[in-house]
């Protein structure tokens, strides 16, 4: 007799009507036909219902992720002026260092005045560095000075994540009844964004003083899918269908994957781009202070020049299309220019 089949889908989070599956993505990547089909179903159901999934056996080695986190921590430990020397300049480039207080994550419907008011009353408690593909003809990365290892670690990781991005989009294509390779030609430029994030140690009193204080304000992501690598500190919350905030508790050696607004548009809202935020951690503070949290978000996007309109099979009549078509690059620049001060 053959050994019992491993399940492709388990429960990651289940609360208040929010069901985030934990998918064994190894079954998609290396499984037989039935395992692959089960993984595809888990992926598409998770994207439809929650807009979020956890992936295990995703093929990115733990040592690779550990090295990226260590290299990221070294960067954020540099003196402020060295970080400011590589600062983020324009939404078109979306590369470089974003100091604490500069970005206020927010919703697409918030007005500029609302976002400014939020930024000054409850600034996001984080700093980040944004990294784009390193082979762009006109937009170079802002690499920290004198650290060739930072550059090689991050460019390698960028390509590793792009390979997983392609596989996730293949699973989505199959889940939507499209050819497995449907998205390949729309995402082969790797116009993605690797964001290293540092949420500095924060006194618990900061959260007590201001009811609206968070580490990262509520928002939905802009692109197609985000691959989120998080440490074990916690604090990420996802909006449930009932409107409550549910902890997306870290699960070791998994990647959190969530759908962005461009994928919601592309899929004519079959896939959900769910709001999320990062708040005061669930653990007890130590000596009145919460420790630092680190994460890496790999924001996947269609090619800059891709035109995004409702996918075949997602509508019967023109009236059923929820959104007009748009150019991917223009859409992303518009979203970025709303949230980061420049």
Binding-site ranges for ligand FYU (CB under 6 A)? 94, 105, 193, 219, 221-223, 260, 299
Which DSSP symbol is given to 103?
Answer: B
Between 39 and 297, CB nearer to Ni ion: 297
How many residues bind Ni ion (CB under 5 A)? The answer is 1
277 contacts which partner out of ligand FYU, Ni ion, none, CB within 5 to 8 A by kind?
Answer: none
Q: Is 272:50 a contact under the CB 8 Å cutoff?
A: yes
C-alpha 250/C-alpha 79 separation (Å) is 30
Rounded to the nearest whole angstrom, what is the least distance from the CB of residue 222 to ligand FYU in the complex? 4
Between 94 and 237, CB nearer to ligand FYU: 94
Between 240 and 277, CB nearer to ligand FYU: 277
Rounded to the nearest whole angstrom, what is the least distance from the CB of residue 219 to Ni ion in the complex? 6
144 contacts which partner out of Ni ion, ligand FYU, none, CB within 5 to 8 A by kind?
Answer: none
Rounded to the nearest whole angstrom, what is the least distance from the CB of residue 64 to ligand FYU in the complex? 22
Choose which of 127, 191, 221, 231 interacts with Ni ion (CB under 5 A): 221
For residue 262, the SS3 value is: helix
223 contacts which partner out of ligand FYU, Ni ion, none, CB within 5 to 8 A by kind?
Answer: ligand FYU
Rounded to the nearest whole angstrom, what is the least distance from the CB of residue 313 to ligand FYU in the complex? 26
Rounded to the nearest whole angstrom, what is the least distance from the CB of residue 227 to ligand FYU in the complex? 11
Residues 6+ apart with CB under 8 A from 16: 240, 241, 242, 244, 246
Which DSSP symbol is given to 340?
Answer: B
Kind and range of the H or E element at 70?
Answer: helix 62-76
Taken as a whole, the chain contains a residue count of 342
Angle of helix 328-339 relative to helix 112-121, nearest 10 degrees, comes to 50
Between 202 and 301, CB nearer to ligand FYU: 301
| Candidate ranges 78-86, 179-187, 213-221, 265-273; the one touching Ni ion (CB under 5 A) | 213-221
C-alpha 129/C-alpha 31 separation (Å) is 36
Q: C-alpha distances in angstroms, 40 versus 132, 172, 254, 258?
A: 29, 7, 17, 15
CB atoms closer than 10 angstroms to residue 278: 25
Q: Is 191:133 a contact under the CB 8 Å cutoff?
A: yes
299 contacts which partner out of ligand FYU, Ni ion, none, CB within 5 to 8 A by kind?
Answer: ligand FYU
Rounded to the nearest whole angstrom, what is the least distance from the CB of residue 223 to ligand FYU in the complex? 5
Contact positions toward Ni ion, by CB under 5 A? 221
């Amino acid at each position: 007799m053959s050994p019992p089949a491993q399940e492709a889908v388990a429960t990651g989070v289940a609360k208040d009507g929010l069901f985030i599956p934990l998918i064994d993505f190894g079954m998609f990547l290396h499984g037989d036909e039935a395992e692959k089909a089960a993984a595809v179903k888990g992926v598409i159901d998770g994207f439809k219902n929650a807009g979020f999934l956890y992936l295990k056996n995703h093929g990115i080695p733990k040592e690779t992720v550990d090295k990226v986190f260590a290299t990221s921590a070294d960067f954020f430990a540099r003196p402020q002026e060295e970080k400011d020397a590589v600062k983020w300049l324009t939404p078109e480039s979306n590369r470089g260092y974003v100091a604490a207080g500069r970005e206020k994550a927010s919703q697409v419907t918030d007005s500029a005045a609302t976002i400014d008011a939020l930024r000054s009353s409850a600034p996001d408690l984080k700093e980040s560095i944004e990294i784009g593909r390193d082979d762009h003809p006109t937009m170079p990365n802002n690499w920290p000075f004198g650290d060739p290892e930072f550059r090689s670690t991050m460019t390698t990781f960028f390509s590793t994540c792009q390979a997983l991005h392609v596989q996730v989009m293949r699973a989505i294509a199959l889940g939507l009844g499209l050819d497995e390779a449907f998205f390949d030609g729309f995402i082969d430029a790797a116009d993605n964004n690797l964001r290293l994030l540092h949420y500095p140690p924060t006194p618990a009193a900061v959260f007590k003083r201001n009811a609206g204080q968070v580490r990262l304000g509520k928002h939905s992501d802009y692109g197609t899918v985000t691959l989120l690598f998080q440490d074990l500190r916690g604090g990420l919350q996802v909006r449930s269908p009932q409107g409550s905030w549910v902890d997306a508790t870290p699960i070791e050696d998994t990647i959190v994957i969530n759908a962005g607004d461009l994928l919601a548009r592309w899929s004519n809202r079959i896939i959900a781009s769910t709001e999320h935020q990062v708040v005061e951690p669930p653990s007890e503070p130590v000596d009145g202070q919460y420790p630092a949290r680190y994460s890496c978000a790999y924001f996947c996007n269609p090619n800059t020049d891709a035109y995004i309109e409702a996918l075949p099979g997602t509508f019967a009549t023109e009236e059923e299309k929820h959104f007009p078509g748009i150019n991917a690059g223009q859409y992303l620049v518009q979203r970025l220019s709303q949230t980061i001060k420049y």
